[in-house]
Structure formats: structure tokens, C-alpha cells
Amino acid sequence: MSNNQAPKALETAFTKTVGCRYPIIAGPMFLVSDEKLVAAVSNAGGLGAMPSLNWRSTAEFRAAVEKVRALTDKPFAVNLIVNKSAPRVDADLDVCAEFKVPVVVTSLGSPKKVIEKMHAVGSKVLCDVTTLKYAKKVEALGADGVVAVCAGAGGHAGETSPLVFIPHLKRHLKIPIVAAGGIVRGDQMAAVLMLGASAVQIGTRFIASTEANVHQDYKNAIVNAEPEDIVLTRKLSGVPASVIRTPYIEKIGVDLNPIESFLHKHEFSKRAMKMLRFYLGKVQLEKAVTVPTWKQVWGAGQGAGLIDQILPAGQIVHTLMNEYYSASIPAGGGGSGTTGE
């Protein structure tokens, strides 16, 4: 099938819950996902997602939701960071409820408030999880699904391999599981669906898309990266985040120095350090993502090593589905992997 034709729909527990054609979320990405990328993915049959914090204020976020609505009539998602230090969560949640944003994905703190408010307007809530314990908690609170953030993912990666984490969650949960981490091709998607996932959440692959609103150098760095070029750094937010090992990352190192470590651990300074790191990390990332700079701080997961081309986001979704449908295990093994493009 050519990439111009839409592959046939794939119904899973996830697509039935969310109402999209394919079980593919373009994961929310700080400073990367904008209205155009989200709408392109949703229009192609996936679920485009964006973090509300990509906009400087709730008013700007509100305008972004209106813009996505104007660009697509398909479901899309907003990511809300719900921990105590997230200052805008209540106001941004009000916007999500006002516009009946079809899906909200929560990260960090308790999703209780979000679930109550979004369910009241008929929307769905997915929650990022990295452990079974937390997944059970959000299921009990009424979450409509979990995003299982596994080792190798872009952003704040989980610690458990998807080969273990997906079947582990599947044994204990009734709600749909979305696998996230390292997925860029349809045969990988087939593999995690076989393990018990009913959708995938993909970040890094969509940075190397025509629509992603980031500098060309960043997209090229993803195309040129090998899996082993991805390292975890604590320098951005205090907790490990996946980045490409650029000369700048090598220069500044990936660990906190002893004083930073101390301040991050102690009650009296923990919160302030978190906020300071968040602010400094944001400034640094913003620069690296949008303008040419030698201070190259580029977030990406290990899947970067499998990405060879920058493509339109809709084509990425359709290629994934075509690869998914043609994935098979040849006699004698060996996989059905293609180039991913």
C-alpha cells in the first residue's frame, strides 16, 4: 500500500475508549508539540497530544486549544503536570473541561481531581505510570488507561524494560495499557501489542517530523544518533531525563554536583531547587530547541537510533500502520523489521 492511502483502521481497547482510528499517540513533548503537529497526527488517525505548559500562560494555552479545534475535528489530548509544584494546573484543567478536550494525560502527582472534572464533561483520562503500584492506584481512582513509560523513552524515562513492564501491568490491570519508550516502527508496535498493550505512545519519532516546531539541527541530530548516543542527565530537572550526548552535554556532565545533590535531597531546599532547575532547564532547552547554539541540549529517547528520515507526521502514522500490518515472524526468526521509513 502506498503511503498516500490511509491504512485500514485498527480497533483495540484503546481506540474504542478514545475514538481514534489507530492506536498511536504522538506523545506530549515539552517545547516540541504545537498545534500543527497535534492536528496533523489526529487528522491522520492517531491521537496528537500537547503539554499545556508549552504555552506561557493559561490564556495562551486556551488559544492553542481553540486553534487545534479549528485544525481538526478528531480527538486530541492535553498533558497536565499535576504535582503540587505545578502552579497552573487548576486553571489549565478548567480550560480542558470548558473545551471538553477529548483526552487528558496526567503526569507526576495524583490525577484524582483531573479524573473527576474531565469525566463530568464526558472526556477520558490517561495517566503516565512507571510502576505497577502507581498504575493500580490510578486504576482505582477511575483512570481510563495508563501510559506505561518504559526504559529507553524520551523525556523522563521509566526504569523497566517494555518486555517486562507491559506484560507485568497486563497481569494486574483491566484498563487499556499504552506502551511508551523506544517505539518508532510498526514491528515494534506489533511486539508491544502482542505483550498486552492496546496502543503506543511515541515521542522521539515525531521530533524528526516536518511539522515539529524545532530547529533543523535538532531534527538532524535525531536522524544521525545511534541508540548509545542517548544518555540520562539529572542536570535539567534534577531527575533523569534522556538527551542526545552532544559535546555540550559531555562538557557539563550528567550528574548533579555534591552541593546540588544535597540541596535536592533536603526538605528545606527540595522544592526551591526543583523550581530553580525547572526554570533553568526550560531556558536552556528553549534556546537549544529553537535557535542554533553550541549549548545543545536535545531531548530524545533511544529510538532515535532507528530513525533515518524527517517525514510529515501523518506519513509517520500511516507508515507505522503499514509496517504493523506487514509485521510477521519469518520461519527461523530474524524479525520483519524494515528501515522504519
Ligand X SMILES: Cc1cc2nc3c(=O)[nH]c(=O)nc-3n(C[C@H](O)[C@H](O)[C@H](O)COP(=O)(O)O)c2cc1C
Q: Which residues bind ligand X (CB under 6 A)?
A: 27-30, 32, 51, 79, 107, 128, 149, 153-155, 180-183, 201-204, 299-301, 303
Is the Cβ–Cβ distance between 329 and 194 less than 8 Å? Answer: no
Cβ 205 to ligand X shortest distance, Å: 6
Cβ 331 to ligand X shortest distance, Å: 31
Q: Which residues contact 151 (CB under 8 A, 6 or more apart)?
A: 157, 158, 159, 160, 161, 162, 181, 182
Cβ 182 to ligand X shortest distance, Å: 5
Characterize the bridge pairing of strands 199-202 and 177-180.
parallel
Nearer to ligand X, 83 or 326 (CB): 83
Phi, psi of 179 (to 5 degrees): -90, 130
Nearer to ligand X, 20 or 300 (CB): 300
Nearer to ligand X, 208 or 263 (CB): 208
Q: Amino acid identity of 237?
A: S
Cα within 13 Å of Cα(321), Cβ side: 25
All three cell numbers of 246, joined, read 552532544
All three cell numbers of 113, joined, read 481531581
Cβ 27 to ligand X shortest distance, Å: 2
Nearer to ligand X, 263 or 305 (CB): 305
Grid-cell match 500562560, residue found: 57
> CA–CA separation, 11 vs 17, rounded Å?
10
Cβ 291 to ligand X shortest distance, Å: 16
Nearer to ligand X, 211 or 263 (CB): 211
Q: By beta-carbon distance, which residue lies closest to ligand X?
A: 203
